[in-house]
Structure 1
Amino acid sequence: MINERTIVSELARLESDAREIVSAAISGASPSVLLERAIREGALASVDQHERVLALACGKASMPMASTLMSVIGESVHAGLVTVPDDGAISGSLSPLEVMVSSHPVPDDRSEAAGRRALELAHGVREEDLLIVLLSGGASALWSVPADGLTLEHLQQSVTTLLRSGADIEEMNTVRKHISAIKGGRLAAAAAPGSVVTLMISDVAGDDPSTIGSGPTVPDSTTYADALHVLERRGGRSAYPNAVVAHLDAGARGKNEESPGPGDDVFRSTEARVIGSNADALEAAAKKASELEYETVIAPRPVTGEASDVGRRLAQQLMDTPARRPTCLIWGGESTVKVTGTGRGGRNQEMALAAVIELSGCARPAVLLSAGTDGVDGPTDAAGAVASSRTHMHAKRLGLDAAAFLANNDSNSFFEAAGGLIKTGPTQTNVMDVQIGLIGTGRTD
C-alpha cells in the first residue's frame, strides 16, 4: 500500500500530465496546420482555373484559417468576408477581406448582419468565379439570417430553448437549417452557378458536412418534419415561438420550399471537404501521452449523451483499467446537459463533477479531465475541469456537497471552490471536446 505523501505526489503529477496532454490535443487541431495540410494535398488546386476568387470564413477558427489562406493565395483573392466571435482575436489586415464580429452561441443583430453580407457576396459570384468557404464550429450562430416570415428574436428564442433542453448539435442544426435563409445549402444556392469549394474543420461527431455550421454549402437531407420532431422531443411545440412552429408546420405540409437536397442543381459545381476533426486532437493527445510514458488507448467511439452520465461511465472505465503500468485513456466527442438547476457551468465541468463522485471509490491515484478544444465551456471562463480520486474527500473537508452542486448544474462554482478548473482562454479552434483519464499503478516504485 502506498503512503499518503506518495498518493498526493502522484496525483499532482497525474493532473500536471493531464493538463499537458490536453494542451497538446488543442495544438493538434491548429486551424493553420490543418488548412496548410489540406492545401498541400490539393484542396485548392483549381484556383487558377477561375477568373475571380472570393472567400468567406466563418466560425471560431475563421481568423487563423483566413490568415493562412491569404498567406498562400492572397494575390488571387478578389473579395470576401471573415466572421469571428466576440472572443476571436483580430490580428492585422486581411485586405481585401472584410472582418465582422458576431455572436455565439445565441445570435444577435451582428449575426444577422454578417449572414446577410455573406449572402450578398455569394449572390455576386459569377459562373466563371470560385467561392472558397472556410467553416468551423460556431458558424451556425455567427451567420443567422431568419427565413421569410421569421425574425431574429424567433431564432434567439428557439436556440435558447434548444440549448437548455439538452439538444445535441445534430438536433440543433436540423432546426436551424429550416428557420434560416443561409443554412442547409442556401448559401451555395446563392452562389450558383459559380463554383464553390468548402473546407471544414468539424465540431460534430461523425464529421457530417451537412451538420458542420448547419451546412450552408452542402445538400441537406433533413426536412421540416424532422425539425418539428426535434421540437416535440425537446420541450414540445408550446415551448417555441408560434411563428417558428407555424413556419415548420407549413414546410412539412409543402407550403414552404425545402432546403436544397442531394442531387439539386445548385450543387453541380460545389465541393466540400472536412480538413480537420476531433481525431486530429486525439492523435496529438496520444502522442504526448506516449512521450510521457503512459500506456495509451484512444476510445473507438465518440462520447455522446448526458454529461453527468458520461462522467460516471468514463470514471468507471478508468477505474476498471488493469494496474500493469500508468495508463492514459483518451476519449473525444460532445455531451449535452439538460439544465434543471440554477447554477453555472458547462458540459465539461458537469462531466468532471460527476466523475468526482464516482472516483471517490477509486483505490488507485486517478484523474479525469474534460475540456472543450475551443477553450469555452458554457457561459463560463473555463474550458473544463479535472477531477481526481481525492477531489471528493477534499471537497467534503471544505464543506462542499458534490452531489448537491451537480443536481443544481453548478459545476463551475464547485470547481472554483475545490480547485480543478481548466482555463486556456479562447483557442481559435473547435473540434468538440477531449477527455483525458490517467491512472497510476498504486505502487511506490
Structure 2
Amino acid sequence: MGEVTFRDRDRIVSTPAHGVALDCLAAGIEAALPANVVADAVSVADGTLRVAAVDGEAAEYDLDAYGSVRIVGAGKAADGVATALADRLGDPLCDRFAGGTVITDEPASPESTEPSGADRSLDVLPGDHPLPTERGVDHARRVVDAAAAAGPDDLVVAVVTGGASALLAVPADPIGVDDLRELTDALLACGASIDEINAVRKHCSAVKGGLLARTAAPATVVTLAVSDVVGDDLAVIGSGPTVPDPSTYDDALEVVERYGLDLPAAVRDHLRAGAAGERPETPESDDPAFDRARTVVVGNARTALDAAATAAGDRGYEGVVVADDVAGEARDAGREHAELAEACAAEDRPVSPPAVLLTGGETTVTLADGTGDSGSGGPNAELVASAGIELDREGSVVASVDTDGIDGASDAAGGIVDATTLHAPAARDALDRHDAAPLLAEADALLRTGPTGTNVNDLRAVVVEDETG
C-alpha cells in the first residue's frame, strides 16, 4: 500500500508542531497497513508457514501436511491481509491453494482477485458497517460456507481484523436481518463497552463466539488477528469467531437489562430461550472445535504506537508511548491529554520537551438520550475539541485519529488542535450537541485520510515544543 496522507495538509499545518503530529500519526497508520503487517509477521520457507505474533511467539505449519489451504475472513483490513497472504502462499502451494473468501467494508475491488502465483481466486466481498444489510449477511454466509468446505486434512487461515464484528453478520435463527440491524443500532447508541456489545452480538449470531471455528472443524485453523481492541482480548477481537467464548446468554441478557434496551421480539425471545437452556451455548475452551485452532495477533495498537515513536525520534523529538489502553468518555480523555501536555511542559513529565507523547486505545461517546441521533463527529473529534478548550500554552498540539480513517459515523479520521484553534464557548456547545466536526472543519482542524485499509484502534499524538519551539 502507498503512504498515508492527510488531505489539505498544507492548510492544516500552521506550526512545526502540527507537522510533527501528522507525521507521527501517518507513520503509525502506515506500520499497521496490511501489506506491512504481513511482511513483518508471515513467512514461507522450506515448505513451512511461520506466523509471528507481536509478542514474539510464533506458530509454524508444515504446508506439505495439508491437502489444501484456504483463506477466510472479515474486517476492515481483511482484504489487504488476505491478498498479502495469498501472494505469500500462492507459489509454495500451487494447486493446493484453494483460494479464499473474505468480507470487508471498502473492497479495493468488488470482484475476485488473482494473487500472483496462485491458480485459485480470492473473493473479496463487500459488506456493511456498522449496521448489517441483506447484502452483507449474504456475503458473510459465503465466508461461512468457505470455512465449512474445509476437510480434516486442510488448513484454514482465518483473517480477523477490526470491523469483523459488524461485517461477519449471520444472525442466528429465527432472528432476521432487520432484527439484527435494530439490535446493533441500539447497542452502539447505549454507551455499552465493546465486550458488553459483543456478548450480546455473539449470542444472536451463527458465526461469532467460536462458531466459525466449529464450522471449520476438524480442519486445522490458524487465525491472524489485527487487533482493534484494548488489551487484545481474543474473545473480543471481531467477536472472537475462532476462539472460545467466556460469555453466556445470561451475560447478554444482563447487558440488555443494564442499558434498558428495547429489542425486537425475535431477539429478546432468542436470548431468553438461550438463558433457559433451550439454545446451545457458544463453545467454551474445552470444545473440540479448538483442538486444532490457534490465534496469533499480528498487529495491534503497539504496532502503530511504536512506529509513531520512531517517527518522532527521527524528527528530533523524544517519542514516548504513554498508554495503549485509553478508554472512557472522549470528552474526559481530551481533558486528560491537555493535562498530559501541561505536565510535560511545566514539570518535564514523563520527559522533557521537545517531545511527542503517544497514546492508543478507544474512547466512546455516550448520547444523553440513548438514541442514535447526534451531530457530526466521532470520539476523536470530541477528544480534540475537549483538549482544545483546556490547552493554554503555545507550542502544544493534540491530534487524534481513528486508524481506519473513519471517526465514528463521519467522513473524517479525527482532528488536531492547539491553544488557539477553538473558541471555548462554541466548542463547549458543540460538545454538548456531539457536533464537533463542523467546528473543527471551520478551523481547518479536521483530519481526513479516507479509508486506510487497516484498523488498530485510535492513535493520538501530543506534541510539546520546548520554550523556543
With the length of structure 2 as denominator, give the TM-score of the two structures. Answer: 0.87
Which letter does structure 2 place at the counterpart of 1:27?
E
Pairing 1:262–2:278 present: no
Deviation at 1:273, TM superposition (A): 0.8
Pairing 1:130–2:130 present: no
SS of residue paired to 1:148: coil
Give 1:423-434 correspondences, 5 Å limit.
423-434=448-459
Checking the alignment, whether the CA contact within 8 Å between 1:282 and 1:330 is kept in structure 2 is yes
Pairing 1:319–2:342 present: yes
Match of 2:114 among 93, 97, 112: 93
Deviation at 1:11, TM superposition (A): 6.0
Deviation at 1:208, TM superposition (A): 1.2
Checking the alignment, whether the CA contact within 8 Å between 2:79 and 2:107 is kept in structure 1 is no
Give 1:112-261 correspondences, 5 Å limit.
112-234=137-259, 236-237=260-261, 239-261=262-284
Residue of structure 1 in register with 2:3 after alignment: none
Checking the alignment, whether the CA contact within 8 Å between 1:77 and 1:96 is kept in structure 2 is no
Match of 1:369 among 391, 396, 399: 399
Match of 1:310 among 333, 336, 346: 333
Checking the alignment, whether the CA contact within 8 Å between 2:73 and 2:143 is kept in structure 1 is no
SS of residue paired to 1:339: coil
Aligned length: 427
Question: Structure 1 CA distance, aligned partners of 2:125 and 2:433?
Answer: 37
Question: Structure 1 CA distance, aligned partners of 2:293 and 2:137?
Answer: 25
Which letter does structure 1 place at the counterpart of 2:37?
L
Residue deviations 1:379-428, cap 9 Å, x none? Answer: 22110001111113xx47xxx71110000000111111122011111110
Question: Structure 2 CA distance, aligned partners of 1:87 and 1:196?
Answer: 24
Question: Structure 1 CA distance, aligned partners of 2:411 and 2:107?
Answer: 11
Worse-superposed segment, 421-430 or 323-332: 323-332
Residue of structure 2 in register with 1:42 after alignment: 50
Deviation at 1:10, TM superposition (A): 10
Question: Structure 1 CA distance, aligned partners of 2:414 and 2:171?
Answer: 32
Residue of structure 2 in register with 1:81 after alignment: 101
Checking the alignment, whether the CA contact within 8 Å between 2:104 and 2:127 is kept in structure 1 is yes
Deviation at 1:18, TM superposition (A): 0.4
Q: After the TM superposition, which segments of 4 or more aligned residues of structure 1 sit over 4 Å from their partners?
A: 87-92
Question: Structure 1 CA distance, aligned partners of 2:453 and 2:13?
Answer: 33
Deviation at 1:147, TM superposition (A): 0.6
Which letter does structure 1 place at the counterpart of 2:387?
A
Deviation at 1:207, TM superposition (A): 0.7
Q: Which runs of 5+ in 1 are unaligned?
A: 1-8
Which letter does structure 2 place at the counterpart of 1:55?
I
With the length of structure 1 as denominator, give the TM-score of the two structures. Answer: 0.91
Q: Which runs of 5+ in 2 are unaligned?
A: 1-11, 44-48, 52-59, 347-351
Residue of structure 1 in register with 2:36 after alignment: 33
Residue of structure 2 in register with 1:339 after alignment: 367
Checking the alignment, whether the CA contact within 8 Å between 1:304 and 1:335 is kept in structure 2 is yes
Question: Structure 1 CA distance, aligned partners of 2:64 and 2:196?
Answer: 39
Checking the alignment, whether the CA contact within 8 Å between 1:311 and 1:353 is kept in structure 2 is yes
Pairing 1:413–2:445 present: no
Pairing 1:350–2:382 present: yes
Residue of structure 1 in register with 2:319 after alignment: 296
Question: Structure 1 CA distance, aligned partners of 2:14 and 2:255?
Answer: 43
Checking the alignment, whether the CA contact within 8 Å between 2:223 and 2:296 is kept in structure 1 is yes
Residue deviations 1:104-163, cap 9 Å, x none? Answer: 111111221122112212222111111111111111111111111111111111111111
Match of 1:380 among 397, 400, 410: 410
Match of 2:72 among 56, 61, 67: 56
SS of residue paired to 2:42: helix
Which letter does structure 2 place at the counterpart of 1:191?
A
Residue deviations 1:335-365, cap 9 Å, x none? Answer: 1111237311101001111111111xx2342
Question: Structure 2 CA distance, aligned partners of 1:80 and 1:270?
Answer: 18
